[in-house]
Structure 1
Amino acid sequence: MSAHEVWGFTVRKSASGKNIWPNQLKREACRRIREDGAVAGNIAAELGASSR
């Protein structure tokens, strides 16, 4: 199982290759959208969530 860092959080990969997102990272992404007015698509791209 591999892992990488995003915004200081460790994102692991499952055996099938899917990202396992920590709850704290999900909360930070939501906070940035809600409070900072970030665009969800930009957040997803920054996290690497939209790449395959």
Structure 2
Amino acid sequence: MAAVAAASAELLIIGWYIFRVLLQVFLECCIYWVGFAFRNPPGTQPIARSEVY
């Protein structure tokens, strides 16, 4: 019984870490794509750095 509980707890911890890593990667991808969408609205052209400096 104790071995089953220990194995279950270990799987729960491993699953939690995998979930956290996947969630972090997913959020970083979403933040990147949302930022990319707002960075350059449709119909506008970004100003080249050579034109600014």
Q: Whose RCO is larger (CA < 8 A, sep 6+)?
A: 1
Q: Write 1 or 2 for the structure with the bigger share of strand.
A: 1
Per the TM superposition, whether the score is higher than 0.5 is: no
Task: Provide TM-score, normalisation by structure 1.
Answer: 0.28
Q: Write 1 or 2 for the structure with the bigger share of helix.
A: 2
Task: Provide TM-score, normalisation by structure 2.
Answer: 0.28
**Which protein is bigger by CA-based radius of gyration?**
2
